[in-house]
Amino acid sequence: MTQELANRSQGSEPFKAEECKGISEYYEVPQELVNLFWVKLGGTAYPKVPFLIMQAQKKGVQRIEIELEEKDKTKQEWECKVSIYPKINRTEIEYLMSLKDDNERNRVWQYFTEPTVNYGRASLETVKMQSMQKYLPEMAVTRGIARTCRIYAGVGATSFEELPNSEISQEQIVDAKDRIAKARRVNEKPGQEVLG
């Protein structure tokens, strides 16, 4: 009931039972979580960040790096670069060990460890909800994570958080602020964070 009210308050509609079943079977998630992981707006389904992170974790994530930068102070434009480094499994390591040629082994190692990189952006122009405009850095982080996880996990749908009228929860704002603060404390480069 609470999720249904939350959906209505954001202008979205709950999924029908057969839609939940289809998404649940295709992505191998519990059917009862579909309305928490996905949003339906105007008949189109959009995945949310928790679902995309879960899908990326299923594929195998060694770490996620985040770099946040204010691109244009006058437009209040923020950009977040997100890099997801894949987890190397035992089969891949065994294959590497079987290669006799060092050059070939290095080439394959580079291929296996190549990160998936994408960007999230937020500005006064791309975040239409006035109440969310004070959280532009956090929106850039959330959008960057959503987009990169979506591409890494092979989810073809645009994420809910990438939409110009999307709204992130207070919990997501706090989490994004914590990530930014941690990145500034932990790393030599301001704006870079290592997760994993």
Residues 163 and 142 in one domain: yes
pLDDT at position 177: 67
Half-sphere exposure of 128 (CA within 13 A, CB side): 6
Residues 19 and 52 in one domain: no
d(CA 129, CA 167): 8
User: For the chain, what is the domain count?
Assistant: 2
Q: Summarize pLDDT for 149-196 with one digit per residue, the tens.
A: 999 999 988 999 888 765 555 666 666 667 666 666 655 444 444 454
Q: Summarize pLDDT for 68-124 with one digit per residue, the tens.
A: 999 988 889 999 999 999 999 999 999 999 999 999 999 999 999 999 999 999 998
Does 172 reside within a domain? yes
d(CA 142, CA 145): 5
Q: Which residue has the higher pLDDT, 47 or 11?
A: 47
**Coil, strand or helix at 7:** helix
Domain extent, residue 27, equals 1-36
Residues 81 and 4 in one domain: no
Residues 179 and 132 in one domain: yes
Q: Summarize pLDDT for 28-69 with one digit per residue, the tens.
A: 988 888 888 999 888 889 999 999 999 999 999 999 999 999
Is 186 exposed, middle or buried, given 0-12, 13-18 or 19+ CB atoms closer than 10 A? exposed
**Coil, strand or helix at 119:** strand
Residues 149 and 54 in one domain: yes
